[in-house]
């Protein structure tokens, strides 16, 4: 950690994509239509079994009972829980439209429920949703089934019900344990409540428990965040996701309720990040990459050690490259060499389904250049290295000629000790791994072309 100085962190305190995909979602276009998505599904259906990618499902549940001021997710704030039942009816229609194309019973190796807050749904509604999914797909034995949990909406009984439904991984939204910070972001949840829930989840036997944290929130100070870090050390979740808060009130209306004067300075944010890196590594967490930490015996840390780490729209994953069907309002999917996104408003989403159409409103068909660059970026983000020969064989190109400009740009990062480049490939150094987004950005053709980074979060 001695090489990860505040000065180095400050140098890389710039905006950039998170690379849950390449090209990034801001490059999706409306010219990609429902028909294009339908064709991608047909191609998956008709592909030889030997070429079929594993299948992952993401279901977006947009509802929350109360508004968290920092939130940039697609959500609907309501206390009318009857809306959940109506939403399930539309999800059922969307599932039917998929199975009409690809048939029923395709094996699913990964399922994730996100939001919003999936635990806005009642236990009976979650049971109905899982039954719908199992009627349409075959959830494979040992599949990773994860769900995002708002600690304010569950107790031990609900956690047991989630396990009974087949969920084996939980992600608790904590953000910060400090009462003043929680009040400033309108998310009050006592630390004791989270500790009790994590203890219950361990007793029930969930395979992995993740905790989300955010630094840079209003009222946070290095001193207050140090107390939160100590509580997280005591809690000892299997995984930790640590995000820097991106204050973009012009894009995300809820953030306008945050008082700008309450936000920590850039220097304080850097200090908090440095504290977190030191604290988690000292507590024997493995830095998986880009905001994610895991205990050494967690599947994510094991995948990192074994070079099996992958990345998808939910972040780092132990699953190999797979197709992803996104279900629900605003959900993003990946089928073959295409990305797609559903309508972002409930009205538009429901209207499409009312007319018997899949609710895809934009997406992207990837070019050969996109695919080659995606391979490079994902190799950097997941394995921390690029072997020139593997890219050359896969994409029939001469790496040093094709990426001559990018290799020139890497020289400054090499001078800073973040990467090494030789005749065989690119290797991200131990210290460079903490800035891997900055390395990946060099190969982002779109970002290099427009340099418009204000729409992205900070890369550290």
Q: 192: part of which helix (H) or strand (E)? A: helix 191-204
Domain extent, residue 164, equals 26-324
Answer whether 158's CB lies under 8 Å from 119's CB: yes
Whole-number pLDDT of residue 200: 98
Task: Give per-residue burial for 309-348: e unless 16+ CB within 10 Å, then b.
Answer: bbbbbbbbbbbeebbbbbbbbbbbbbbeebbbbbbeebee
Q: Among residues 302, 324, 346, which one ends one of the domains?
A: 324
Q: Does any domain span residue 159? A: yes
Using DSSP, state whether 297 is helix, strand or coil: coil
Q: Does any domain span residue 361? A: no
DSSP state of 124: H
Q: Does any domain span residue 310? A: yes
Residue 276 burial (10 A CB sphere; 0-12, 13-18, 19+): buried
Place of tokens 């977006």: 60
List residues forming the annotated binding site for [4Fe-4S] cluster: 64, 68, 71
286 in the same domain as 162: yes
Whole-number pLDDT of residue 13: 64
88 in the same domain as 9: no
Task: Tell me how many domains the chain contains.
Answer: 2
pTM reported for the whole predicted model: 0.92
Q: Does any domain span residue 347? A: no
Q: Does any domain span residue 445? A: yes
Q: Does any domain span residue 357? A: no
102 in the same domain as 50: yes
Answer whether 83's CB lies under 8 Å from 63's CB: yes
Whole-number pLDDT of residue 458: 58
Helix axes 346-354, 82-102, angle to 10 degrees: 50
List residues forming the annotated binding site: 58, 64, 68, 70-72, 115, 148, 175, 187, 212, 246, 332
- How many whole angstroms from its chain centre is CA 334? 14
181 in the same domain as 140: yes
Whole-number pLDDT of residue 289: 81
Whole-number pLDDT of residue 217: 96
Q: Among residues 265, 291, 324, which one ends one of the domains?
A: 324
374 in the same domain as 317: no
430 in the same domain as 296: no
449 in the same domain as 405: yes
Q: What is the CATH number of the domain that holds 66?
A: 3.80.30.20
Q: Does any domain span residue 359? A: no
Give residue 315's region: left, alpha or beta (phi > 0; psi -120 to 50). Answer: left
Omega of the bond prior to 116 within 30 degrees of 0, cis? Answer: yes
Whole-number pLDDT of residue 1: 44
Q: How many CB atoms are located within 10 Å of the residue 367 CB?
A: 12
The CA distance from 335 to 323, in Å, is 5
243 in the same domain as 127: yes
194 in the same domain as 68: yes
420 in the same domain as 390: yes
Whole-number pLDDT of residue 239: 97
DSSP state of 312: E
- Can you read off the two tokens belonging to residue 426? 């690119």
Q: Among residues 307, 324, 341, which one ends one of the domains?
A: 324
> Digits of tens for pLDDT over the chain (460 positions)?
445 666 776 676 666 788 889 999 999 999 999 999 999 999 999 999 878 888 999 999 999 999 998 988 888 999 999 999 999 999 999 999 999 999 999 999 999 999 999 999 999 999 999 999 999 999 999 999 999 999 999 999 999 999 999 999 999 999 999 999 999 999 999 999 999 999 999 999 999 999 999 999 999 999 999 999 999 999 999 999 998 888 888 888 889 999 999 999 888 988 898 899 999 999 999 999 878 999 999 999 999 999 888 888 878 888 878 899 999 999 999 999 999 999 999 999 999 999 999 999 999 999 999 999 999 999 999 999 999 999 999 999 999 999 999 999 999 999 989 999 999 999 999 888 888 888 999 999 998 776 555 455 555 5
Using DSSP, state whether 248 is helix, strand or coil: coil
Integer-rounded Cα Rg, in Å, for the chain is: 22
402 in the same domain as 285: no
List residues forming the annotated binding site for S-adenosyl-L-methionine: 58, 70-72, 115, 148, 175, 187, 212, 246, 332
456 in the same domain as 307: no
Q: What is the CATH number of the domain that holds 410?
A: 1.10.10.920
Q: Does any domain span residue 314? A: yes
Whole-number pLDDT of residue 313: 82
Helix axes 123-136, 82-102, angle to 10 degrees: 10
What's the order of all strands across the beta sheet hosting 385-387? 385-387, 425-428, 419-421
């Amino acid at each position: 950690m001695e090489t990860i100085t505040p000065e180095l962190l400050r140098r890389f305190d710039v905006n950039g994509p998170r690379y849950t995909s390449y090209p990034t979602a801001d490059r999706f276009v409306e010219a990609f239509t429902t028909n294009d998505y339908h064709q991608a599904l047909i191609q998956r259906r008709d592909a030889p079994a030997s070429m079929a990618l594993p299948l992952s499902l993401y279901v977006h549940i947009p509802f929350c009972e109360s508004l968290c001021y920092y939130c940039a997710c697609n959500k609907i704030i309501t206390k009318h829980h009857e809306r959940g039942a109506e939403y399930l009816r539309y999800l059922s229609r969307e599932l039917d439209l998929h199975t009409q194309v690809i048939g029923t019973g395709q094996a699913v190796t990964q399922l994730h429920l996100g939001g919003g807050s999936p635990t806005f749904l009642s236990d009976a509604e979650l049971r109905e949703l899982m039954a719908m999914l199992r009627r349409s797909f075959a959830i494979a034995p040992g599949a990773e089934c994860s769900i995002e949990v708002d600690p304010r909406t569950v107790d031990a009984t609900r956690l047991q019900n989630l396990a009974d439904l087949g969920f084996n991984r939980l992600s608790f939204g904590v953000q910060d344990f400090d009462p003043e910070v929680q009040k400033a972001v309108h998310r009050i949840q006592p630390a004791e409540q989270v500790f009790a829930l994590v203890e219950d989840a361990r007793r029930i036997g969930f395979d992995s428990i993740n905790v989300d944290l955010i630094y840079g929130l209003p009222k946070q100070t290095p001193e207050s965040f140090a107390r939160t870090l100590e509580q997280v050390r005591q809690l000892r979740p299997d995984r930790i996701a640590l995000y820097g808060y991106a204050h973009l009130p012009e894009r995300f209306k809820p953030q306008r309720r945050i008082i700008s004067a309450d936000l920590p300075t850039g220097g304080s944010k850097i200090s908090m990040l440095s504290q977190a890196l030191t604290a988690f590594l000292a507590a024997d967490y493995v830095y998986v990459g880009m905001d994610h930490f895991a205990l050494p015996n967690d599947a994510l840390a094991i995948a990192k050690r074994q070079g099996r780490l992958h990345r998808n729209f939910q972040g780092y994953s132990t699953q190999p490259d797979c197709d992803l069907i996104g279900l629900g309002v605003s959900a993003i999917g990946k089928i073959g060499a295409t990305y797609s996104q559903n309508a972002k408003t409930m009205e538009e989403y429901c209207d499409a389904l009312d007319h018997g159409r899949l609710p895809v409103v934009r997406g992207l068909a990837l070019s050969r250049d996109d695919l080659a660059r995606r391979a490079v970026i994902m190799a950097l983000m997941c394995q921390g290295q690029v072997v020139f020969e593997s890219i050359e064989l896969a994409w029939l190109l001469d790496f040093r000629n094709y990426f001559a400009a990018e290799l020139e740009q890497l020289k400054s990062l090499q001078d800073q000790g973040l990467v090494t480049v030789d005749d065989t490939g690119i290797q991200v150094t131990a210290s460079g791994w903490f800035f891997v987004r900055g390395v990946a950005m060099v190969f982002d053709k779109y970002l290099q072309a427009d340099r418009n980074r204000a729409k992205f979060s900070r890369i550290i």
